[in-house]
Structure 1
Amino acid sequence: MVTGGLEGAGVFGEVTTRQAGDDDAVCGVRPRWVALPETVEEIAAVLRACAERDLAVVPAGGGTKLHWAPPPERCDVLLDLCCMNEVLEHAAGDLVVRAQAGVTIAALSAALAGEGQELALDVPFGEDATVGGTLAAPLPGPRAFRYGTARDLLIGITVVLPDGTVARSGGKVVKNVAGYDLGKLFTGSYGTLGVIAEATFRLHPMPPERRWVVAELGGARVPAVAAALAASQAEPSAVEVDRPDPAGPLTLAALVEGTAAQTRGETLRELIGPAEVSGEPPSWWGQVFGDDVLVEVRFPASGTAAVLDAAAGCGLSLRGSPVAGRVLLEPGRELDEDELAATVSGLREKVEAAGGRVSVLAAPCQGVDRWGHVSGLPLMRRVKERFDPGRRMSPGRFVGGI
């Protein structure tokens, strides 16, 4: 069905389609149409039609992270997956769930909680973030330290390739793409290789108890305390730090889950020093409060002190995991393009000297080097050429203009 008096009505067959408006723009690039498929087959029909007419496509879920990548070089069709919103299968006995890409993380969590299970991802913007977006533009949450990332918990995926071919990997494989692990390729691909249509995840039982151990620490103590917590037999599921003021105090919080959580929390408190053990998380736990400008830093344990110092020296707030080697940074004030570029450059120099990497997830200006040097870029270009030789899928939105 085509609505809204489209020029070229019927281009996408029976798929619900409407004319795009200003609110549908992707980083300022307005598409011509918005297509709203309801099945894998309808996604395939849209992509086949786009391939025949050389139309560029940008997939979208809840739209929470559409601004995280650079603007697309072109965008003819915004592929809105909001109608792909069904939990298709929950095999509670096997701790496995299969869901369509448009299911929100909040809806999925509610469905799983009824069986006492969870997808152990702490996803920001969970009310609106979708399964597909969580894979396409992943952001590890606090408990990635214990359970892994979305990529680690993904055990099967159904994707639609730019020519409309449906491919499956893992789980109940029907058709695969020889030589490629589609789950790993499509996770973090920002919609540049095809469309994630369905995903199958490994689940965990919901823990009967949770305790957070929260303390204020001097930055100099963080590396040693983090190392002790990571090695502790109390087995914390997460250790996070928060420093909203680059010149201010730093708060550390460690989470223990499951049996004897209170006792294990007390054990962690002995490692940390003066701390509070609580059944509720601190207000900042797992949150992203502002993402107009958002910088991600990944680093080895040996680089923890250098990263903390670099963030403070660049005037950036910090939140993330010293045990998983991942923090998010935000500027405390609005920066113009030149200031932001200089800040990122200075930060990158210090972080890379400590063995880490800096990526700019979100920025309103284009004169910022978002990724720095990426050694795997030639391989990534070959993968893009293999999957999307016509450069129709989110062109220009990923590393090196992929």
Structure 2
Amino acid sequence: MLESRLLLVHHSVFFWRGSVLNVPASGTRSAADAAQAEFAAIVGESRVTADSAACEGFTVDGKVPSCVVYAASAEEVAAVLQCAADHELAVLPCRNLTKIGIGHPPRRYDVALSLKEMNRVWYYEPADLVISVEPGMKLGDFQHFVGRHRLWLPLDPAGGARASLGGILAASSSGPLRSAYGTPRDMVLGMKIATTEGKVIKTGGRVVKNVTGYDMAKLLIGSYGTIGVIVEASFKLYPLPAARATFVLRLSTLDGACELRRRIQRSPLQPQRLVLLDAEASKLVRSGSPLAPAANTEISLWEVWVEAAGSARVIERYARELEELGRAVGARAESEPGESAWARVADFRTWLSAAYPGLVVLKAVLPISATEQFLGQVEQQAEGLRRASLSQIGVGVVCVCVLEEPGAPSIRPWVERLRAAATSLGGALVVECCPAELKAEIDVWGPPGDDFEIMRKLKHAWDPKGILSPGRFVGGL
């Protein structure tokens, strides 16, 4: 289900006037070869490679690019995109590849455009809680930089500290902190975007308020690099909490866990993170090993994890009130899992993928009130599959991981039934990760939403030759 919407905005446009070596194509030279010479003229010969080993490092769903270009500035990105468009070469922008597997296999893939060298801070004013950075900066490096002033960006996406800010925005990636702070759309003040016409478009600004052009930035967030390439982003920052504490309440039934969620949300408490783990997810996360033995499926156990943030007095209040709320539904308190466990919760998919080559990850976004029904469907239709579910029950996001060998025959119909269940409950289901053979058989995004035609027109307007991540997004955009 698409989140992007067409919004009328004003923006400023900057044109790149750099010199580009025009190498005419000949009968003995391919367009890709000619383009590589032009790429070298833009970014320098040392930052363009067609080495097979280097190219294989950017493989996406079995497809390998012809070359890798390492851009170091917004102007270079814009010029590379314009050159690729002139030669009709397909481009996939990337950095650390933590989210590159999401989406359909690319229809074409000629150029991997790496943004790893774009990791500078262009503007930082701690007193105003504003920062502007390039997209190649890793989230971990970013948090360390602003943490010196007791500030942070409250995001805990898949990929964790390794995830790049550009990748987080392109995928609109968020984790359990979404319960309290929202998604990347709620934290971005403005952006600069490189287009296939060789332009760098500026939208929004560096002030913590809604400004002209702000909604255009929201349009790019979650577009998976299919419209333009984010080359700079301005964020509003938040003060780091004085203290944090995690409370775990264990229940024997799903009904009891969901009743506890309702009681927490009706209370004055405002948790920073609120998640529900089934027995398998809890065992994996607590053990610290993705290869931990399977949990006993004959015993129904559910854990509600609540993270509180604030002063010592606030933490004490959470302890008292959660004990009372838990007692009312028959929950018993468990030991605190620690911050490293939260990191595994946020990065659950990535953490498991290295150990399970046949890993299938389903992400359902549902009305909060429908979470219980959907999890019930997961349980009823498990069909003997080893699976682990982890739900952001405060916002209605459910992640189900199937830990099976590649080619398990019962997975496809199970996925289709769960997608139908999510749709019937007013939500949508995306297959975020799966083996190539399953991806070839199913639509990982599901049917396009009512606004697909708007998105298609936007794609055509911004990328008329269809070179940006072709075929990877909803509806094959």
User: Scaled by the length of structure 1, what TM-score is found?
Assistant: 0.92
- Name 2:461's counterpart in structure 1: 386
Among residues 61, 84, 87, which one is paired with 2:118 in the alignment?
84
| Alpha-carbon distance change, 179 to 38 in structure 1, aligned in 2, over 3 angstroms | closer
Segments of 4+ in structure 1 off by > 6 A? none
Partner of 2:352: 290
Q: Secondary structure at the match of 2:107?
A: coil
- 1:64-113 deviations in whole A, cap 9, x for unaligned? 11112221111111000000011222210111111100000000010011
Larger CA deviation: 131-140 vs 313-322 = 313-322
SS in structure 2 at match of 1:35: strand
Larger Rg: 2
Matches within 5 A, 1:183-194: 183-194=217-228
Instruction: Tell me whether 1:107 sits opposite 2:161 in the alignment.
Output: no
Greater relative contact order (CA < 8 Å, ≥ 6 in sequence): 2
**2:422 maps to 1:351:** yes
Q: 1:54 is paired with a residue of what secondary structure?
A: coil
Residue in 1 aligned with 2:258?
A: 223
The answer for unaligned runs of 5 or more in structure 2 is 1-19, 22-31, 282-296, 354-358
Q: Return the offset for 1:138.
A: 2.6
Q: What per-residue deviation string (whole Å, max 9, x for no partner) do you get for residues 141-163 of structure 1?
A: 11111111111111111110122
**Alignment match, 1:245:** 280
Is the contact made by 2:189 and 2:205 (CA closer than 8 Å) also made in structure 1?
A: yes
Residue 7 of structure 1 deviates from its aligned partner by 3.7
> Map of 1:130-209 to 2, 5 A cutoff?
130-171=164-205, 181-209=215-243
In structure 2, give the amino acid aligned to 1:140.
S
Deviation at 1:180, TM superposition (A): 8.6
Cα distance in 2 between the residues matched to 1:200 and 1:278: 35
Does residue 257 (structure 1) correspond to residue 309 (structure 2)? The answer is yes
Moved more, 105-114 or 50-59: 50-59
Instruction: Name the SS for the 1:181 alignment partner.
Output: helix
Secondary structure of 2:400 counterpart: strand
Corresponding residue for residue 271 of structure 2:
236
**Match for residue 433 of structure 2?**
362
Q: Distance in 2 between matches of 1:279 and 1:290?
A: 18
Which protein has the bigger helix share? 2
1:272 aligns with 2:339: no
TM superposition shift of 1:28: 1.3
Q: CA deviation at 1:207?
A: 0.4
- The one of 83, 99, 102 equivalent to 1:68 is 102
Q: Distance in 2 between matches of 1:188 and 1:112?
A: 24
Equivalent position amino acid for 1:368 in 2: I
Tell me which residue corresponds to 2:379: 312
Residues 101-146 of structure 1, C-alpha deviation per residue, up to 9 Å, x if partnerless?
0000000010011010000001232232100000111332111111
Q: 1:232 to 1:335 in 2, by over 3 A?
A: farther
Any conservation in 2 of the 1:341–1:369 contact (CA below 8 Å)? no
Q: 1:87·1:99 contact (CA, 8 Å) conserved in 2? A: yes
Q: 2:401 aligns with which of 330, 333, 342?
A: 330
Tell me by how many angstroms 1:185 deviates.
Answer: 1.4
Matches of 1:386 and 1:363 in 2, distance apart? Answer: 32
What secondary structure sits across from 2:457 in the alignment?
Answer: helix
Determine the C-alpha separation between the residues in 2 that align with 1:320 and 1:181: 29
Shift of 1:335: 5.0
| Of 153, 156, 159, the match for 1:122 | 156
Q: Structure 1 residues 49, 211: CA separation in 2 closer, same or farther (over 3 Å shift)?
A: same
Aligned residues: 395
Counterpart residue type for residue 172 of structure 2: P
Identity %: 30
What SS does structure 1 have at the residue aligned with 2:160?
coil
CA distances 1:230-267 after superposition (whole Å, capped 9, x unpaired): 23212211210111539442111011101223213211
| C-alpha contact (below 8 Å) 1:306/1:351 kept by paired residues | no
TM-score (norm 2): 0.78
Cα distance change, pair 38–240 in 1 and its aligned pair in 2 (3 A): same
